Structure 1
């Protein structure tokens, strides 16, 4: 493990995006990750990361029309051109910031043949484009309690899509929170699917707060990641119980450093 990456989609929510970057650096984070940074010009984002001396590890493709219920476009039939556009947008931000991972969001869509075929075809095209830029596309199963109807909710389903796409730069986002809520048996699934893992995220189960509470033993998770040889960042994609800085006491409680 390189250390912990601050997911600024959730941490320091009272601040604007550029303020969150500064706050994360002051708190001791050396890396950050974002959901949708597209309201800030890519060059401005890159300058803020450089000034704060943090690495931007990853971003998401834009979710589409949230008012219409969209939460990703990759598996949505009829939205192929829109998906291509948001992938292009993400890759442009990667080029400007040095980011190397993009969560390619699949969307809320009934599972089935048409949606699956749409996603696989979209990802094959996107993976070829991303590979030219040295970017990895991540597939993240989202649990059905938090995101009802998302195209996949388990690592097994996402792994099947990764196999169907057959591109080396399409990998699995192993979010311990989502795996814990959707399926459980987290460590065994981590071991089984580790060859596909491109990034890891954490939060308490079931609350999605700091990882020092709930039913997941994060010291055991961290030991397993070390044993497996995980060399990436671990994304802190949790919703703070209160003040983000005060909540960082979890690192002391779990015996880790940022």
Structure 2
């Protein structure tokens, strides 16, 4: 059975953010993830995790101005210094919270622009060098253009090629089943071929991004395949509950 982590940005929105940790634990989750912790002191987030008896799966590095539409800095021209500072910020939080992984968001840029690709590779190299000695891993995630138009990293094969090119054990793939299905389909075969490079998996139904088991994919079969492949990381539940979070957890109880 996969180990599921509740995404506290999308789930348990019936509660204030800092109350979602205990709500997730009460619902049976053993770990959590979220987009960003930076609105709260790292020590407070760590305390909420500890009190709820939860593990942290991962969170994202600072994205720039999220509310203005920015979606990361790594490939964005003129933001190199800000990106380097964001690595320090994220690493400081990861050390206190105890997160083993950070997601490096690429940002909005043209992947076919050689200058943008060079910036992205340089940024990843800097981030790996900065975080590896601290024992914090990095992941990159392909994201579909329907949900995030203009996102630099929008292809799973390209993402895998980048991980191989950087060739550092602390840089791996974040395999989001929802994004994979929209971008390419062929979810199970991709899991089989890419599993050696996958450090984190996420799930949501397609196309509405609701609870597993409510869309076009056989999520139970995919979960069985994840088990069969020997994956021992967390599966992040990055979905939007169709109703209240608790009322939509029958899939978890059935599994």
TM range (shorter): over 0.9
Partner of 1:32: 32
Moved over 4 A (4+): none
Indicate the larger mover: 181-190 or 1-10: 1-10
User: Unaligned stretches of 5+ in structure 2?
Assistant: none
- Say if 2:91 is the partner of 1:91: yes
Does the Cα contact within 8 Å between 1:124 and 1:167 map onto a contact in 2? no
Distance in 2 of aligned mates of 1:222 and 1:235: 12
CA offsets 1:172-196 (integer angstroms, 9 cap, x no match): 0000000011110111111111111
Partner of 1:63: 63
Q: What SS does the aligned partner of 1:250 have?
A: helix
Alignment of 1:115-154 (within 5 A): 115-154=116-155
Partner of 1:213: 214
CA offsets 1:45-99 (integer angstroms, 9 cap, x no match): 1011000100011110111023543110011121111111111111111110111
Does the Cα contact within 8 Å between 2:2 and 2:226 map onto a contact in 1? no
User: 1:110 offset after TM fit, Å?
Assistant: 1.4
Does the Cα contact within 8 Å between 2:14 and 2:244 map onto a contact in 1? no
Partner of 1:76: 76
Distance in 1 of aligned mates of 2:223 and 2:12: 24
What is the RMSD computed on CA atoms of the aligned residues? 1.2
Q: What SS does the aligned partner of 1:239 have?
A: coil
Distance in 1 of aligned mates of 2:245 and 2:123: 37
Does the Cα contact within 8 Å between 1:6 and 1:237 map onto a contact in 2? yes
User: Unaligned stretches of 5+ in structure 1?
Assistant: none
Distance in 1 of aligned mates of 2:229 and 2:77: 38
Partner of 2:230: 229
Distance in 2 of aligned mates of 1:161 and 1:68: 28
Q: What SS does the aligned partner of 1:5 have?
A: strand
- Say if 2:75 is the partner of 1:51: no
Q: How many residues align?
A: 254
Distance in 1 of aligned mates of 2:121 and 2:150: 18
Instruction: State the TM-score, normalizing by the size of structure 1.
Output: 0.95
